[in-house]
Amino acid sequence: MNDPKSVVDEVFAAFRSRGGRFYGENITETQHALQCATFAERDGESHAMIAACLLHDYGHLLHNLGEDIASKGVDTRHESVGANRLSRFFKEEIVEPMRLHVAAKRYLCWKDKAYLENLSAASVQSLGLQGGPMTDEEGRAFESHPYFKAALRLRHYDDLGKVPDMATPDFEHFRSIIEMFVRV
């Protein structure tokens, strides 16, 4: 049985421990997570989407490979690592959009040339490591996934959450939302 407070304490501890790392966007993992969740909250998104936004890059916190790992040509598969780890604790409506947020980027690069042209340098670099834009077959298959739309919304907030020095609430502001989705 999972205790929601303990689970969220563990997740927040990972951000306290490793969330100060930069990942190529001139902001830290912590800033990025809080910005994504803040944008989703401001837009009136569901609690599930806000939680997924806050936790979507959790997998980056689980390795000790350094801040510049992508520049070394390594894809840490953070989306799968994080989703796999958190699936033991959190409900599917949080974990599956997290798992698919990289696929959503690949999909959008296939579907919309303007999206690809507007990616940040760090996102372009990671896109290459993550398989590049989807093929026609991959894109059509992705569109049929039950969490397709949620993954695209999460990707939207992932793209927005890259603002140096943006003021956001802290993690505790989001605690009650995150605790709602702990598997008990």
> Per the domain annotation, does 148 fall within a domain?
no
The answer to whether 86 touches 98, Cβ cutoff 8 Å, is yes
What average pLDDT is seen over the chain? 91
Judging by beta carbons within 10 Å of its beta carbon (0-12, 13-18, 19+), is residue 40 exposed, middle or buried? buried
> Per the domain annotation, does 60 fall within a domain?
yes
Burial 61-99 (b: 16+ CB within 10 A, else e): beeeeeeebbeeeeebebbebbbebbbebbbebbbbbbb
Mean pLDDT for 25-53 is: 96
Question: Can you give the residue range of the structural domain that contains 17?
Answer: 4-99+154-179
- CATH number where 50 lies: 1.10.3210.10
> Per the domain annotation, does 111 fall within a domain?
no
What is the count of structural domains for the chain? Answer: 1
Mean pLDDT for 50-54 is: 98
Q: Is the pTM of this model over 0.95?
A: no
The answer to whether 75 touches 130, Cβ cutoff 8 Å, is yes
> Per the domain annotation, does 18 fall within a domain?
yes
pLDDT in tens, 59-118: 988 876 555 555 555 456 778 889 999 999 999 999 999 999 999 999 999 999 999 999
> Per the domain annotation, does 146 fall within a domain?
no
Say what percent of the chain tops pLDDT 70: 92
Judging by beta carbons within 10 Å of its beta carbon (0-12, 13-18, 19+), is residue 172 exposed, middle or buried? exposed
pLDDT in tens, 151-177: 999 999 999 999 999 999 999 999 999
The pLDDT value recorded for residue 64 is 65
> Per the domain annotation, does 20 fall within a domain?
yes
Phi and psi at 156, nearest 5°, equal: -55, -50
> Per the domain annotation, does 52 fall within a domain?
yes
> Per the domain annotation, does 145 fall within a domain?
no
The pLDDT value recorded for residue 2 is 85
